[in-house]
Every structure is written in structure tokens, then in C-alpha cells.
Amino acid sequence: MTLYRIHMNAARSEEFPEGSDKHGYDFVAPLDEDNHLDPKAWKAHKDDCVVRRFSNGEPDERGLLRHIGKGWTIDYDPDTPEGDEPFFKLDKHLISVGEYLSVREDDGELRTFHIVAVQPYLK
């Protein structure tokens, strides 16, 4: 098991017709040999699974990747579920350059992101 840093940018959408490298997420997660999230390894390394959301003109937001049931969410405040941002079916997605992931952001909108880098995470 290895931890990886995954970088994804906003995919093409009505909001971003050409996509945007100024809006997206960096997160650290354990991947199995098939490039899927490894929930057992996450449990052993959950404090290392940090997330950074970036958006042009706004301060970065930092949180942790959390595994809840079969779902995955970004937890910005461990004291409350308010403001958490769930991934859409992250447990089923391949985590690889060129793939797409969706996140329901804090404004309630489900936005799609393009994975542009997956690299081993070095603390």
C-alpha cells in the first residue's frame, strides 16, 4: 500500500467551458494495486489523508478525507457534518490520470473534476 497525492482540476462545464486549473482539489489517499481507494489502508493512515480545495480568488480550504459507510467525504470540521463535501461513488472509481470524479460542494452543486496527476505521497 502506498499513499498518493491526487490532483484534479474543474472539468469542462457550463461554469467552466474550457475547464479550469484554478479550481480543484489536491488530496492524499491510499490506493490498491488496481488504483482504487483502499479503505483498510485508509483506516491506518487517515490522519495523513489531507485535502486542499483551491478556487481562484478565494483562500484554500483544508480538510481530511473521511470514509463513512461505503461513501467518502471531505471533512473540513470534525466537530460538525455541516460543510462536508461528499464524493460521488468514489469507492467505485478508478483513480488514474484522465479519469473524472465528482464532488457535491458546499453550495449543494455536484461538480466534476478531471484527474491530472497521481503521484506517490512523500511526507
3-state secondary structure of 46: helix
Q: d(Cα 103, Cα 48) in Å, to the nearest integer?
A: 20
**Which DSSP symbol is given to 87?**
B
Q: Identify the pLDDT of residue 106.
A: 86
Distance of CA 74 to the CA centre of its chain: 7
pTM for the full predicted model = 0.92
Query: Which pLDDT does position 2 carry in this prediction?
Result: 84
Count of structural domains within the chain? 1
The range of the structural domain enclosing residue 17 comes to: 2-120
> Tens of pLDDT along 19-67?
999 999 999 999 999 999 999 999 999 999 999 999 998 999 999 999 9
